[in-house]
Amino acid sequence: MISYADYERCDALALAGLVASREVEPRELVEMAIARIEEVNPTLNAVVHKLYDRARAEVAGKLPEGPFRGVPFLLKDLLALLEGTCTTNGCRVYLGQIAPRDSEIVRRQRAAGLVIVGKTNTPELGILPVTEPALHGVTRNPWSLEHTPGGSSGGSAAAVAAGIVPMAHGGDGGGSIRIPAACCGLFGLKPTRGRNPLGPFVGEGWHGMVVEHAVTRSVRDSAALLDATHGPDLGAPYVAPPPARPFLEETKRDPGRLRIAFTTASLLGSSVHPDCVAAAQDAAKLCEGLGHQLEEAKPPVDRSVMSRAWLTLVSAETAAEVELLSRSASKKPRASDFEPGTWMLAQAGRAFRADELAMAVHEMRMTGRAVARFFEQFDVLLTPTLAAPPLAIGALQPKPADLAVLLALRALPHATAIRKVLDALADRAFEFAAFTPVANATGQPAMSVPLYWNAAGLPIGAHFVGRYGDEATLLRLAAQLEQARPWATRRPSLALPIRAVSG
C-alpha cells in the first residue's frame, strides 16, 4: 500500500526505485494516479481521455525492465499516437481516428516501463500558448483556477503540478513545453531539434520547429527520460549531435564557470511584466552567486521578421494539415469543423505564395545562424520564460470584434483582411510568448526553471537557452540551480492528500 503523501513526494525515478525494490507494485502506482485523476480532474480538466482499463491490463502483465518500470504517465493529446486509441489534436475532425501503431517516441517511452493512464488537453492543433480548445474545454492552473496553465502542453503541466503523475509528455513548437512549465512551477526542457523522434507518422513539425519531450518536477527525471527516448528514427530529416555521455550523468557533473548572457528586454513583443523581470533578475543573481559570469547582452533577433516568418510557416502548415485531412478523411473538412482562428490560419496559408513560404524558411535559418554566432561568446542565454505571469482564462481568445470579423471572413474569405486580423492575433500571442519561439526557430535546446513565485503565489519561470546540441550544459546548470533553490516541496493548494490506495 502507498499513501498519497508517499506517492506525491517521489519523482518518477524514485517511484521506479520503489517498484524495483518491491516496496510497491506497479498496480498500486496506477491506482494512485487513477484516484488522483478522479479527485482533481473535475476541477482542472487536464485529462481528456482516460485509459484506466488499458493501464490496469498492462500492469497485470509483464512490464518492460526499463528505468521507469511501473510509473504512471500521461500523453499529450497531440502528435503522440498510442496504438488502438484516438489522438484528437484538440480538434473534432480527428474524433474516431484510431492509431494503427504507436508513434516512435511513445514506443520508446513504453519500452522504458512507463504506463500510460490517459491523455491530456491541448489547444486545437497546438497553436495557442493557452489550453482552451472548443472540443475539450478549458484547462485550469492548479496554482490558481482563474489562470491558464499555459499551452500547448497545458493539460500535461496541470496534471503534473496537481500531483497526478510525476511527469507527462509534451511537445514544443514555439514554447509549448516551457510555457506551461513556467505557468505551473515545473521544469520544462525543449531538446535540440532532431534529438527525439517524430516519426513514423510525421515527417517534421512546423519546418523543424517542433520537438517532443516532457514536463517534469525534477531535473533528473527529464534527463533520464531523454536518455530513454533520444536518437533518430527511420528517415529522420534532422539528427542532433550525439551526446558525450548519458544525460542523467550530466546532472551529476559540475557545470563549471559559465558565461551567461542576460536580458529582460522582450525579443518578440514590446514590454515585459515587472514580475517576469524580477524573476529573471533573481535567477541572474542566483547564477552569479554560484560563480557564473553574467553579462547583459541580447541575441540579434529582428522582431518583425521573426514574427512574420513564424506566422507564415504556421499558417502554411495549418493549411497543409487541413489538406491532408481532406485527402484522408471520408468527409471533407469544413470551416465549421475548426475554431475560427484555426480556419483563418489555414485560409492564410492557402493565400501565401510559394516564394513567401520559402522566404520565411530562409529568414528562420538566417536567424539561426545569427544567434549561433552570438553563442560563440556565451554558453547560455538567460531571459524570462514569458513576458507576463500566467494569463487569466480567456485572455487570448478572440475579442468579440475579432470573432465577428473571423466569422465573416470564414463565409467570404479575403486574403488581405485575413492577414491583417491574424497579424493582430499573432501580436497578442507574442506579447505573452515573447522569448520561447526563438529557440524553436534556431533548433537550440532551452529550458524553463521554476525559481520564482510572485506576490500572488503564481509561478514565474526563468528561461535558459543553450548552444545547438548542448543539452548537457543546460542539465548541469539546472541540477545546480535545483540544489541551490529546491522547488520540489512547493505545491499548489489543490494538491491535497487523498486516501491510501491498495489497488
Active site (catalytic) residues: 76, 152, 176
Identify which of 403, 398, 488, 331 has the alpha carbon closest to the alpha carbon of residue 132. 398
Would the CA dihedral through 48, 52, 54, 58 be positive or negative? Answer: positive
Cell of 300: 540579434
Decide: 151 and 176 in contact? Cβ < 8 Å: yes
> With contact defined as beta carbons under 8 Å apart, do 112 and 228 qualify?
yes
* Helical packing angle, 219-229 and 12-20, nearest 10°: 70
| The one-letter amino acid at 217 | R
In degrees, rounded to 5, the angle at the alpha carbon of residue 427 between the alpha carbons of residues 425 and 430 is: 110
- The three-point CA angle 471-447-42 to 5° equals 130
Distance CA 296, CA 27 (A): 51
The identity of residue 9, as a single letter, is: R
Tell which residue, 201, 214, 258, 225, has the closest CA to residue 83.
201
Per the structure block, which three cell numbers stand in for 91? 480538434
Q: DSSP letter string over 433-484? A: S-STHHHHHHT--EEEEEEEE-TTS-EEEEEEEE-TT-HHHHHHHHHHHHHH
User: Helix, strand or coil for residue 261?
Assistant: strand
